[in-house]
Structure 1
Amino acid sequence: MTTLDYVVIFVFTFLVVLAGISFGKSGKDMKSYFAAGGAVPWSISGLSLYMSFFSAGTFVVWGSIAYKMGWVAITIQSLMCLGGFLVAYFIAPKWRKTNVLTAAEFVRRRLGERTQKLYTLIILILSLAYTGAFLYPVAKIVSVSTNWPINACIIGLGLLVLLYTVVGGLWAVIITDVLQFVILTVVVAIVVILALNNVGGISGFIAKAPEDFWSLTGGEYSWKFMLAFAVYNTVFIGGNWAYVQRYTSVKTPKDAKKVGLTFGWLYLVSPLVWMLPPMIYRIINPNLEGGLGAEEAYMLMCKEVLPMGMLGLMLGGMVFATASSVNTTLNLAASIITNDVFKPWKPNTSDKQLMSVAKISTLLFGLGTIAVALLVPSLGGIVNVVLSVGAVTGCSLYGPPIWALFSKRVTGRAVLAITLISLALNILVLLISPLNRANEMLLGAVLPFLLLGLYEGYLVQKGKKTSLEYKNYQLLKEKNTLVTESNSGQNEFGLKILGNTLAAVGFLIVVLAFFGNNSAVLIACMGVLILVVAALIHPSVKIISKA
Structure 2
Amino acid sequence: MTMDLLAWLGGTLLALGMLALGLWAGIAERRHGADSEGFWTAHRSLSGWSLGMSLSASMLSVSWSLVYGVELLYRYGWGGLWLLAIPWLVTLGLFYLLVPRLRAFGAFSQGELFGQVHGRKLQLLTALVLSVVFLAWCGAEIAAAGELLAPMLQAPAPLVMAGLALLVAAYSWAGGFRAVVLTDVAQFLLIAVFLVFLAVRSWQPQGLSPLAPIPAPSLWLVLVTLLVYVTGWLSEADIWLRFTAAKSDTHARLAMAFTAGVSLVLVIGVPALLAAAARTLLPQSQDLVFPRLLAHLLPPQLHILVLGGFAAVALSTISTTANVVAVTWARDWPREKAHSSNLSWARWASALAVFAALVVAWLSRSLSELFYLSAGLLSAGLFWPTLGLFYPSLREAARVAAWVGFFAVLASFLLERSGLFRFAADPGLNELAIGYIPPALAVGVLALAGSWLWMKVKKPQEAPQPRQ
TM-score range normalised by the length of the shorter chain: 0.7 to 0.9
Matched, 1:38 2:44: yes
Shift of 1:12: 2.5
Amino acid at match of 1:325: T
1:407 is the counterpart of 2:391: yes
User: 1:110: how far off?
Assistant: 0.8
Give yes or no for contact 2:110–2:240 (8 Å, CA) kept in 1: yes
Decide whether aligned partners of structure 1 residues 67 and 158 sit closer, same or farther in structure 2, where only a CA change above 3 A counts.
Answer: farther
C-alpha distance in 2 between matches for 1:193 and 1:457: 55
Q: Look up the equivalent residue of 2:67 and give its one-letter code.
A: V
Which of 351, 370, 374 is 1:363 aligned to?
Answer: 351
Deviations 1:242-263 (A, max 9, x none): 2210121113334333332333
AA aligned opposite 1:62? G
User: 1:3-402, aligned counterparts within 5 Å?
Assistant: 3-27=5-29, 28-55=34-61, 57-66=64-73, 71-79=78-86, 80-89=88-97, 91-196=98-203, 199-201=204-206, 203=207, 205-206=208-209, 214-215=212-213, 218=216, 221-275=217-271, 276-277=273-274, 279-285=276-282, 290=287, 294=288, 297-306=289-298, 310-341=302-333, 344-347=335-338, 349=340, 351=341, 353=342, 355-378=343-366, 386=371, 388-402=372-386
Q: Report the Cα distance in structure 2 between the residues aligned to 1:399 and 1:217, rounded to whole angstroms.
A: 32
Q: Name the CA shift for 1:18/1:238 in 2 (closer, same or farther; >3 Å).
A: same
The size of the alignment, in residue pairs, is 440
**Which whole-Å CA distance do the structure 1 matches of 2:179 and 2:402 have between them?**
34
Cα gap change, 1:347/1:118 in structure 2, threshold over 3 Å: closer, same or farther? same
Task: Rate the CA distance shift 1:72–1:51 in 2: closer, same or farther, 3 A.
Answer: farther
Q: 1:194 to 1:35 in 2, by over 3 A?
A: same
Would you say the 8 A contact 2:21–2:183 is kept in 1?
Answer: yes
Provide the C-alpha distance between the structure 2 equivalents of 1:444 and 1:137, rounded to a whole number of angstroms: 30
The question of whether the paired residues in 2 share the 8 Å contact of 1:162 and 1:362 is answered with yes
Q: In the superposition, relative to structure 1, how do residues 348 and 417 fare at CA in structure 2: closer, same or farther (>3 Å)?
A: closer
SS at match of 1:433: coil
Q: Does 1:458 align with 2:453?
A: yes
Quickly say closer, same or farther: Cα 1:114–1:461, change in 2 above 3 A.
Answer: closer
Aligned-pair distance for 1:106?
1.0
In structure 2, the CA distance between the partners of 1:317 and 1:38, relative to structure 1 (3 Å rule), is: same
Instruction: Tell me, yes or no, if the aligned pair for 1:217 and 1:223 is still in contact at 8 Å.
Output: no
Indicate how the Cα distance of structure 1 residues 441 and 48 shifts in structure 2: closer, same or farther if over 3 A, else same.
Answer: farther
- The alpha-carbon deviation at position 299 of structure 1 amounts to 4.7
Provide the rounded CA distance (Å) in 2 between the counterparts of 1:47 and 1:181. 6
Q: Secondary structure at the match of 1:376?
A: coil
Determine if contact 1:42/1:255 at 8 Å carries over to the other structure: yes
Deviation at 1:153, TM superposition (A): 2.2
TM-aligned CA distance change 1:452 to 1:167, over 3 Å: farther
Taking the aligned partners of 2:162 and 2:137, their CA distance within structure 1 comes to: 16
CA separation in 1, counterparts of 2:177 and 2:332?
A: 17
Structure 1 distance, partners of 2:59, 2:389, is 22
| TM-score, reference length from structure 2 | 0.82
CA-CA distance at 1:441 after TM superposition? 6.5
Counterpart CA distance in 2 for 1:317 and 1:174 is 18
Tell me which amino acid in the other structure corresponds to 1:52.
S
Q: Per-residue CA shift, 1:496-520, capped at 9, x if unaligned?
A: xxxxxxxxxxxxxxxxxxxxxxxxx
Judged with a 3 Å threshold, the aligned counterparts in structure 2 of structure 1 residues 441 and 266 are, in CA distance, closer, same or farther, namely farther
Residues 319 and 64 of structure 1: CA distance in aligned 2, closer, same or farther (over 3 Å): farther
Q: Distance in 2 between matches of 1:131 and 1:104?
A: 19
Q: Deviations over 1:470-495 (max 9, x none)?
A: xxxxxxxxxxxxxxxxxxxxxxxxxx
Q: Which moved more, 1:356-365 or 1:423-432?
A: 423-432
Identity across the alignment (%): 19
Q: How far apart, CA to CA, are the structure 2 residues paired with 1:44 and 1:445?
A: 37
Question: Structure 2 vs 1, CA of residues 455 and 45 (structure 1 numbering), >3 Å: closer, same or farther?
Answer: farther
User: In structure 2, the residue corresponding to 1:440 is in which secondary structure?
Assistant: coil
How many angstroms apart in 1 are the aligned matches of 2:233 and 2:253?
Answer: 13
Equivalents in 2 of 1:340, 1:373: separation in Å? 24
Q: CA deviation at 1:391?
A: 4.2
Structure 2: gaps of 5 or more residues: 461-468
Amino acid at match of 1:339: R
RMSD: 3.2
Gaps (5+ residues) in structure 1? 208-212, 466-547
Secondary structure at the aligned position of 1:280 is classed as helix
Structure 1 letter corresponding to 2:202: A
CA contact (8 A) 1:97 1:253 kept: no
1:142-177 Cα deviation digits (max 9, x unpaired) = 135345333222222222222212222111111222
Q: Shift of the alpha carbon at 1:269? A: 3.7
2: CA distance between counterparts of 1:9 and 1:278?
28
Q: Distance in 1 between matches of 2:11 and 2:279?
A: 27
The alpha-carbon deviation at position 195 of structure 1 amounts to 2.3
